[in-house]
Amino acid sequence: NAGVTQTPKFQVLKTGQSMTLQCAQDMNHEYMSWYRQDPGMGLRLIHYSVGAGITDQGEVPNGYNVSRSTTEDFPLRLLSAAPSQTSVYFCASSYSAGAGYEQYFGPGTRLTVT
Amino acid sequence: KNQVEQSPQSLIILEGKNCTLQCNYTVSPFSNLRWYKQDTGRGPVSLTIMTFSENTKSNGRYTATLDADTKQSSLHITASQLSDSASYICVVSAGRDDKIIFGKGTRLHILP
């Protein structure tokens, strides 16, 4: 099993550009989520999905869109990149949404917006 | 307000020494508490998980404790190794809606 994979590993964007961060998992997990990690702050939830076709907003959803057309994939779209979106983005998955289920994190995408 | 506070922010110790990281939380109702290890440039990896009724959980040289009365947890690392250099994140889940609250982490540096 590859676990949770994310692409790209690094990305530089100019303000106003759009892009999609890819996330895939091969563990047949129902629950997937996107976090951003900024210096001096804990991981913050952007969007999550409890299954294919179902998505919902997390703590900091503005400026991001998600979709979940398959169980395996959960892409994160930046609509119009802003410098405030410079961050490290982590995708995670777990068997179910319950707090007792371990979350498996991808290796992260480091995004810089100039 | 649900919060998770970790201390110290950073810690430097010599290889072979023991250390203890602290986590205080104000989360209600409490569901469970996890400790994650995050190596530089990688995603977090779960070390331990404890529910309300558990006081201690070990994973090799890592031992987590939980005092649900005082809302405190600690992660003790025994006989530290260079590979223990990482950030350690305390994560608390709050009941009914399973909201997950992340601490800011403790950055641990092990010196040879």
Residue B1 is predicted with a pLDDT of 78
Q: Do B100 and A102 touch (CB under 8 A)?
A: no
> How many Å lie between the alpha carbon of A114 and the closest alpha carbon of chain B?
21
Q: B47 pLDDT band (50/70/90 cuts)?
A: very high
What pLDDT, on a 0 to 100 scale, did the predictor assign at position B85? 98
Closest chain B C-alpha to A29 CA, distance in angstroms:
17
- The pLDDT, as a whole number, for residue B51 is 87
CA B31 to chain centre: 15
| Per-residue b or e along B32-52, where b marks 16 or more CB atoms closer than 10 Å to that residue's CB | bbbbbbbeeeebbebbbbbee
Residue B98 and residue A105: Cβ atoms within 8 Å? Answer: no
Q: What is the pLDDT of residue A63?
A: 96
Chain B residues lying within 8 Å of A98, measured CB to CB = 98
Q: What's the pLDDT at B9?
A: 96
pLDDT value of residue B96:
66
What mean pLDDT do residues A15-29 have?
97
pLDDT digits (tens, 9 = 90+) for A24-75: 999 999 999 999 999 888 899 999 999 999 999 999 999 999 999 999 999 9
Lowest mean pLDDT among A47-61, B1-15, B88-102: B88-102
Nearest to B32 among A44, A92, A99 (CB): A99
The number of angstroms, rounded, from the C-alpha of A11 to the middle of its chain's C-alpha atoms is: 14
Contact residues on chain B for A43, CB-CB shorter than 8 A: 44, 89, 102
B44: cis peptide before it, omega within 30°? no
Structure-model confidence comparison of residues B1 and B101, the more confident one: B101
Residue in chain A nearest B39 by alpha carbon? A107
| Cβ(A66)–Cβ(A76) below 8 Å | yes
Nearest-10 Cα torsion for B105, B106, B107, B112: -150
Fill in the amino acid letter for B107: R
- Among partner residues B41, B42, B104, which is closest to A42 by beta-carbon distance? B104
Predicted confidence at residue B100, as pLDDT, reads 86
- Asked if B43 lies within 8 A of A44 by C-beta distance, the reply is no
User: What integer is the mean pLDDT of B57-63?
Assistant: 97
When CB atoms are compared, the residue of A40, A42, A98 closest to B102 is: A42
Alpha-carbon span A65 to B3, nearest angstrom: 27
User: Where does B4-111 have alpha helices with state H?
Assistant: none
- In this model, does residue A101 exceed pLDDT 90? no
CB contact under 8 A, B32 and A98: no
Specify the residue for token string 């998505």: A55
**Residue whose pair of structure tokens reads 């777990």 in the numeric block:** A94
